[in-house]
């Protein structure tokens, strides 16, 4: 067991070094979401085991394909969710031009949620906490809301396809197993491209991860673009803060003035510093991704906080406004269109996607 842990640690260090090397030699840490490159063709997402398909024609909400659906969350200055608003309370701008809201702009729409777990990070050591949080999350959803489950490490595995059967979903959580490496970018691309085809529901992805990609697949920019193309809201529960505290504590002990063996621990000291830099870089990427898609980044200080966070996300999804509008610009040019949503009441804070791609 100790040998396996040592091997994993060494591999993690190598990938962290590679990330920092890229940072130091010109790689841009922030993707320009309005100029994202085309995503490379990722491997196909396949179920780990045959899963029962539970998609009924009645599960899919049909809307006018010329309409744009914007899931929107409104909070007050204290961070509390604001309910009871009407279409008259909102202003929507596309590329700077105000858009007329449709009459049914606040009609209720089910949500499809992909729960994803990074099984190569420290989160896997706290798998029971994740399972409890995921079960609690499912219980907070409405009966028409659907779930699917994906784990990712060196591979991206679909453990449960779409279902609103909570018992079936709970059983699928037992199929989550540890792995190595982290194909974070590929996981986001695959989930965005393949799990949301042919549906007009609200679409969300919730990811438990540290976000450090091993660099074995697609880029972060391609992953962010895929999420925007699929019109997915991404929430990330990041264990970066938990890992940061661990590394800072160990680094402080090794650098203690009373410790005369500092020079003998230089390799470990350098490794910890590189690890902290990698966490900072990853966290900035996660901020960019969640902000652009209208989601949120959570940084719990302990895995004991997972249940509360997942319950908070479920509450947000149940109180989202589903705003519809028909763009005044009818041109189908395939380009990215910037969208801004605001309320008449200036003191409210609005979370919504940065925009969308209109297919040709």
- Please tell me the predicted confidence (pLDDT) of residue 45: 65
Average pLDDT over residues 304-313: 94
Query: b/e string for 224-245 if b means 16 or more Cβ within 10 A?
Result: bbbbbbbbbbbbbbbbbbbbbe
Average pLDDT over residues 33-42: 42
131-196-308 Cα angle (round to 5)? 30
- Flag whether pLDDT at 12 surpasses 60: no
- Flag whether pLDDT at 24 surpasses 60: no
Average pLDDT over residues 144-172: 95
- Please tell me the predicted confidence (pLDDT) of residue 31: 36
- Please tell me the predicted confidence (pLDDT) of residue 103: 64
- Flag whether pLDDT at 258 surpasses 80: no
Residue 344 · residue 91 · CB < 8 Å: yes
Average pLDDT over residues 24-29: 38
- Flag whether pLDDT at 334 surpasses 90: no
Question: Whose CA is closest to 242, among 185, 304, 180?
Answer: 304
Mapped to the 3 state alphabet, what secondary structure does the chain carry?
CHHHHHHHHHHHHHHHHHHHHHHHCCCCCCCCHHHCCCCCCCCCCEECCCCCCCCCHHHCCCCCCCCEEEEEEEECCCCCECCCCCHHHEEEEECCEEECECCCCCCCCCEEEEEEEECCCHHHHHHHHHHHHHHHHHHHCCCCCEEEEEEECCCEEEEEEEECCHHHHHHHHHHCCCCCCCCHHHHHHHHHHHCCCCCCCEEEEEEEECCCCCCCCCCHHHHHHHHHHCCCEEEEEECHHHHHHHHHHHHHHHCCCCCCCHHHHHHHHHHHHHHHHHHHHHHHHHHHHHHHHCCEEECCCCHHHHHHHHHHHHHHHHCCEEEEECCCCCCCCCCEEEEEEEECCCCCEEECCCEEECCC
- Please tell me the predicted confidence (pLDDT) of residue 36: 40
- Provide, rounded to the nearest whole percent, the portion of the chain with pLDDT above 70: 78
Question: What is each CA distance from 245 to 250, 272, 280, 300, 301, in whole angstroms?
Answer: 9, 11, 12, 11, 9
- Please tell me the predicted confidence (pLDDT) of residue 64: 39
Average pLDDT over residues 328-351: 93
- Please tell me the predicted confidence (pLDDT) of residue 257: 66
- Please tell me the predicted confidence (pLDDT) of residue 259: 60
Domains annotated for the chain, with CATH where assigned, are 2-55+110-318 (3.40.50.410), 64-107+321-357 (no CATH)
Residue 324 · residue 148 · CB < 8 Å: no
- Please tell me the predicted confidence (pLDDT) of residue 49: 44
Each residue's pLDDT tens digit, 92-133: 999 999 999 876 666 678 999 999 999 986 677 788 899 999
- Please tell me the predicted confidence (pLDDT) of residue 125: 77
Cα R_g (the chain), whole angstroms? 21
Residue 332: pLDDT band (50, 70, 90) is confident
Which residues make Cβ contacts (< 8 Å) with residue 89, sequence separation at least 6?
343, 344, 345
d(CA 346, CA 326): 24
Each residue's pLDDT tens digit, 55-81: 333 333 333 347 888 999 999 999 999
Average pLDDT of the residues of the chain: 82
Residue 48 · residue 119 · CB < 8 Å: no
């Amino acid at each position: 067991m100790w040998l396996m842990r040592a091997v994993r640690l060494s591999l993690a260090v190598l990938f962290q070094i590679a990330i920092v090397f890229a940072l130091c030699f010109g790689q841009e840490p922030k993707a320009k979401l309005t100029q994202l490159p085309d995503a490379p063709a990722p491997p196909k997402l396949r179920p780990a085991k045959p899963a029962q398909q539970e998609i009924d024609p009645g599960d899919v909400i049909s809307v006018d394909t010329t309409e744009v659906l914007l899931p929107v969350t409104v909070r007050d200055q204290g961070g509390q969710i604001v309910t009871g608003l009407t279409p008259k309370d909102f202003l929507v701008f596309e590329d700077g031009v105000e858009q007329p809201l449709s009459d049914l702009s606040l009609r209720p729409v089910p949500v499809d949620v992909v729960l994803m777990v990074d099984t190569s990070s420290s989160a896997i050591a706290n798998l029971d906490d994740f399972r409890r949080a995921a079960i609690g999350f499912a219980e907070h959803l409405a009966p028409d809301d659907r779930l699917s489950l994906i784990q990712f490490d060196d591979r991206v595995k679909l453990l449960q396809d779409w279902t609103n059967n909570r018992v079936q979903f709970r059983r699928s959580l037992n199929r989550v197993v540890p792995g190595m490496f982290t194909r974070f970018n590929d996981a986001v691309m695959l989930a965005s491209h393949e799990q949301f085809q042919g549906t007009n529901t609200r679409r969300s992805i919730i990811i438990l991860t540290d976000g450090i990609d091993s660099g074995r697949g697609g880029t972060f920019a391609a992953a962010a673009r895929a999420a925007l193309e699929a019109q997915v809201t991404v929430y990330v529960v990041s264990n970066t803060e938990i890992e940061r505290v661990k590394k800072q504590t160990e680094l402080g002990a090794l650098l203690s003035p009373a410790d005369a063996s500092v020079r003998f621990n230089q390799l470990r000291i350098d490794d910890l510093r590189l690890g902290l830099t990698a966490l900072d870089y990853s966290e900035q990427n996660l901020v960019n991704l969640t902000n652009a898609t209208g989601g949120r980044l959570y940084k719990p200080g302990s895995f004991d906080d997972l249940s509360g966070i997942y319950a908070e996300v479920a509450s947000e999804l149940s109180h989202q406004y589903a705003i519809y509008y028909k763009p005044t610009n009818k041109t189908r040019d395939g380009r990215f269109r910037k969208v801004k949503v605001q309320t008449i009441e200036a003191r409210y804070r609005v979370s919504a996607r940065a925009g969308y791609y209109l297919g040709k």
